[in-house]
Amino acid sequence: MTSTAPVQSSTAKTTAAKTTAEKTGAHTDEAAALIGNARSRIDALDDRIIGLVQERMAVSAVIQEARITSGGRRINLSREMEILGQYRDALGRPGTSLAMTLLELCRGRA
């Protein structure tokens, strides 16, 4: 009796490996697997970072509302300068750009 299941040729396996390598830029299966796992971790970290930014935006809105309700200004520039310095000190010059983006996201609508 002959099997009707398709047999995967070595050419098909090589094509699949090339596809994985092309996706990762790796030249070996081992490196492609490592890169794939690391990218999965990065995706999970990005999801957490996005969640934390959204949480920060909500907390910032509460602070702004309290400040405005009490007769203050929506934005506290001296506090923003502290944050810029903290990010710059921790991450170098690109940290300043990251902090600026984060502050812009958290300022809400004027």
Query: Distances from the Cα of 85 to the Cαs of 57, 82, 98, 101, in angstroms?
Result: 19, 5, 11, 14
Residue 18 predicted with pLDDT over 70:
no
Residue 99 predicted with pLDDT over 60:
yes
What pLDDT band is residue 102 in, cutting at 50, 70 and 90?
Answer: very high
Residue 60 predicted with pLDDT over 80:
yes
Mean pLDDT of the region 55-74: 95
Q: What is the mean pLDDT of the chain?
A: 87
pTM, entire model: 0.74
SS3 86: helix
